[in-house]
Amino acid sequence: DSGVTQTPKHLITATGQRVTLRCSPRSGDLSVYWYQQSLDQGLQFLIQYYNGEERAKGNILERFSAQQFPDLHSELNLSSLELGDSALYFCASSVRRDPQGYYGYTFGSGTRLTVV
Amino acid sequence: GQNIDQPTEMTATEGAIVQINCTYQTSGFNGLFWYQQHAGEAPTFLSYNVLDGLEEKGRFSSFLSRSKGYSYLLLKELQMKDSASYLCAVQTGANNLFFGTGTRLTVIP
């Protein structure tokens, strides 16, 4: 158990629908990162939150949004779903490890989204 | 932008040594990571390099040359359970990790 909790593990939904993926970072970790991994694709960075504020955006579609709540859990909202949104969605959290600024990333087990 | 290249697939024999290369061009550099990912599972941390040179950790070693934008992961005494994807990732100045597409390693008897 990595300490990063993602729910649900599996999600099947129809095109056009909206879903919410949830992530709880490890205790003490302030940052949350969301990644998308399509079949045979690399991990694509979507968005980062730090202590409730958006810090960085990657290749996140306008149909997707995220937020981080005061208790530090985060939700990724995917709307107007398309077949191409089917993928594994990972959340990771990080905490500084050493004075050189090494931020260790720990990944949750992911949510497998299937859009039919 | 970020560009991280690694071979798509490799095959090696149980007990052998394999080297997985990674080249990168990124805006900002705060370190290079290697992760292992079994199919359908979360990536797990293998190694981290921020200075040039070799970092050894058991059967796994990782090398970095910042001037060449190059890293490799060396796996020794391969075992069947090492069959997985190996992801090279660069941490940028914003402390975000950008991943290559991964190298799928198949270990054969």
pLDDT tens across the length of chain B (109 residues): 789 999 999 999 999 999 999 999 988 888 999 999 998 899 998 999 999 999 998 999 999 999 999 999 999 999 999 999 999 999 887 668 889 999 999 999 9
Interface residue of B97, B103, B104 to substitute, partner A, most A CBs within 10 Å: B97
Interface residue of B9, B24, B37, B96 to substitute, partner A, most A CBs within 10 Å: B96
| B44 in Cβ contact with B85 (< 8 Å) | no
Interval A30-78: pLDDT, tens: 889 999 999 877 899 999 999 999 998 988 999 999 999 999 999 999 9
Q: Which strand (E) or helix (H) includes residue A98?
A: none
